[in-house]
Amino acid sequence: MTAQRMAPLLIVFASLVGSILPAADPAYVRVSPRDPRYFELSDGRPYIPIGLNMIAPGESDEEKGLAQMGQWLDFLADNQGNFIRIWMSNRFFDVESESSGSYDAETAKRLDAVLERAARRGIRVKLTFEHFRHFFREEQKWAAKPIHHASRGGPASDESDFFSGPASRDQFRRKIDWFARRYGSNPNVFAWELWNEINAVRAQGWEDWTEVMLKELRARFPHNLATQSLGSFDTAKVRDKYRWLALLPGNDFAQVHRYLDLGASLEVCHGPVDVLTADAVHELLKFNPGKPVVLAESGAVEPGHSGPFALYAKDKAGIILHDVLFAPFFSGAAAAGQIWHWDQYVAANNLWFQFGRFAEAVKEIDPPAERFQAVELPHERLRVRVLRGRSTLLVWCRDRNNDWRTELEQGVQPAKIERAVLDFRNNLPESKLRVRFYDPWESKWSDGRLQSGKVTLPAFSRSIVVRIEAKR
């Protein structure tokens, strides 16, 4: 689209935003100085990221694509979501699509428009610079970027030279500079991410490149977080790389990607989604990174990531999304888990309400103030994940007998669990306590009571949240 045709579209998009939405929040996201395992805003307000990967619109047409992104952002915001991730290297947003080292300001206006709408809807954005995995190979053509090869006028003789060659490094620094001039003081940028799953590039030198470029991000975006990502934690072979990245000083928070994948070598990736996502968080927490841990990509795929999960179409209730959202946070992560397949699963099944259910469960919770410790309570029927805080006990209970296999594959409806008892005698803060239950499937709160340190749950299906906190 020409600049003349694009300008009216952006004016309409911006005027619509400005006419119906509040002003953007000027605070930045930071690692909390009160508890570095969690995030907060630069004015001290707590911030729990609640959102998903929203990499790009499915529409390639500019007007339709921006309209689609705007609609998704509205659906998310209407359900109390406050975070998305975008790939700036996706064709729709890519300012460097025609030639290596040449950046198109007109294409950048698409990202301008989305950032503006996100800001006014209270949604912060993680921006990923790159995702390519090769220059020319036939497989994974979506991950090819031949413009960087010397034969196409680029600076690199091969992928390893892209990471190690001085010319390629200098050019990437200039790319960071270009974005810094445009967005360097934008508080709505949650974080700058160097690469999507950089270890998926068949190249040498990406570790040193990561260390160098994280420092460059810090110099150019001093108010924003900086991070890097690795491929799905579906094999033991990547554990050492995950440990290295989690502990890397310039990496502001530790991310992990993991999916339900029946082709994965790790058996945990074949089972219940709440278990495999919680386990991914536990893997990173065991490294003791001293920084926030985030499940940054999850969901379900056909074996070996050969496509979106075939059973997604049956998941009208959103049980996979529910488990991805809840299990990581209640296992000690700093955020709700972040689903992939934003278009083919979340939007296709209209599952936006699940973000609102998580937000309701954690409303008015200040994780840095609570200094939560994640524990699990034994129970014969439930997986009970507990966040034990200074004044609050936050609990998520998941039915062991209900998961994607029973409900989606076998068609077994979730059973009603009645009069289940939880024993909190060793986990209660010393104060007068109020007990409340939140059913995220009915979006309903109810009151309970403690009897000798035990709580009897109301009848529920699939899962329920318990909040035990000091009376106000």
Cβ pair 96, 146 in contact under 8 A: no
What per-residue confidence (pLDDT) applies to 180?
98
276 lies in the same domain as 204: yes
Helix (H/G/I), strand (E/B), else coil: 438: strand
What per-residue confidence (pLDDT) applies to 428?
72
Domain boundary among 327, 345, 364: 364
Structure tokens that stand for 33 in this block: 């100085």
Residue 103 inside a domain? The answer is: yes
Q: Is the Cα torsion angle 277, 278, 284, 289 positive or negative in sign?
A: positive
Q: How far is CA 119 from CA 11, 21, 22, in A?
A: 16, 9, 9
274 lies in the same domain as 412: no
Cβ pair 238, 199 in contact under 8 A: yes
Domain boundary among 364, 383, 405: 364
Q: How far is CA 79 from CA 45, 72, 121, 262, 324, in A?
A: 20, 11, 11, 31, 16
Residue 127 inside a domain? The answer is: yes
CATH classification of the domain holding 231: 3.20.20.80
Residue 53 inside a domain? The answer is: yes
297 lies in the same domain as 430: no
Helix (H/G/I), strand (E/B), else coil: 393: strand
Helix (H/G/I), strand (E/B), else coil: 6: helix
447 lies in the same domain as 350: no
266 lies in the same domain as 148: yes
Spatial CA neighbour of 44 closest among 67, 28, 20, 23: 28
381 lies in the same domain as 359: no
Residue 439 inside a domain? The answer is: yes
Place of tokens 């499940």: 295
**What burial letters (b/e) apply to 25-51, b meaning 16+ CB within 10 Å?**
bebbbbbbeebbbbbbbeeeebbbbbb
H-run or E-run covering 160: helix 159-164
354 lies in the same domain as 403: no
Between CA 112 and CA 267 the distance in angstroms is: 43
What per-residue confidence (pLDDT) applies to 466?
98
Between CA 130 and CA 388 the distance in angstroms is: 38
Amino acid making up residue 298: S
Cβ pair 215, 252 in contact under 8 A: no
428 lies in the same domain as 460: yes
Domain boundary among 338, 364, 390: 364
Cβ pair 448, 437 in contact under 8 A: yes
Between CA 134 and CA 147 the distance in angstroms is: 11
Residue 420 inside a domain? The answer is: yes
User: Within 10 A of 119 (CB to CB), how many other CB atoms are there?
Assistant: 22
Report which DSSP code applies to 25.
Answer: P
pTM of the model: 0.94
353 lies in the same domain as 256: yes
Q: Which domain holds residue 429?
A: 374-470
Residue 435 inside a domain? The answer is: yes
Structure tokens that stand for 278 in this block: 């919680």
Split the chain (472 residues) into runs of 10 and give each run's mean pLDDT.
44 43 84 98 98 97 98 98 98 96 97 98 98 91 94 97 98 98 95 98 97 98 98 98 98 98 98 98 98 98 97 98 99 98 98 98 98 97 97 97 98 97 81 91 96 95 96 76
Number of domains in the chain: 2
Cβ pair 331, 374 in contact under 8 A: yes
Helix (H/G/I), strand (E/B), else coil: 421: strand
450 lies in the same domain as 340: no
Between CA 207 and CA 163 the distance in angstroms is: 9
The secondary structure of 392-431 as a DSSP string is: EEEEEEEETT-SHIIIIIS-PPPPPB-S-EEE-TTT--SS
335 lies in the same domain as 428: no
Strands 29-31 and 39-41: antiparallel
Residue 369 inside a domain? The answer is: no
122 lies in the same domain as 30: yes
CATH classification of the domain holding 447: 2.60.40.1180
Residue 79 inside a domain? The answer is: yes
